[in-house]
Copies of this chain bind each other. A is one copy, B any other.
């Protein structure tokens, strides 16, 4: 008789993939936010991030500690938060992807507010293959009618 559950390579497990996406999500959102805040205001403080993410400053502190540990940011007590080279690269990558997903949703006809809300979660689960398709679609809709 056939086995109840045919074996499949781990790499093909969708849930594993999703858990991995989530493991890198916080770092991606933080470096993206830090880059944006620095650009806009000159420097990024704990409070800015707390407001951005709608969490307490304590949660931000702990997140920053993890980002430091992972080499994405540099920060000293009572000082502003800076991106490392690695953090900057990740920020650029994340921002690009975020923009493409957002543009794509707009091109699909989703309202501005909904697009912004959905994109924040969606972006972390979009593979490079899907991202390419989204980009092509958005560009298509922009050039043609």
Contact = CB atoms under 8 A, between A and B. Distances in A.
Interface of A: 4-5, 10, 12-18, 21-22, 29, 41, 48, 51-55, 105, 108-111, 113-122, 124-127, 129-130, 133-134, 137
How many copies of this chain does one complex carry?
Answer: 2
Contact of A121 (B18, B48, B118, B119): B18
Contacts of A12: 113, 117
B133 A14 contact: no
B133 A15 contact: no
Contacts of A109: 133
Nearest to A134: B108
Nearest to A22: B22
A54 B10 contact: yes
A122 B133 contact: no
B119 A133 contact: no
A133 B120 contact: no
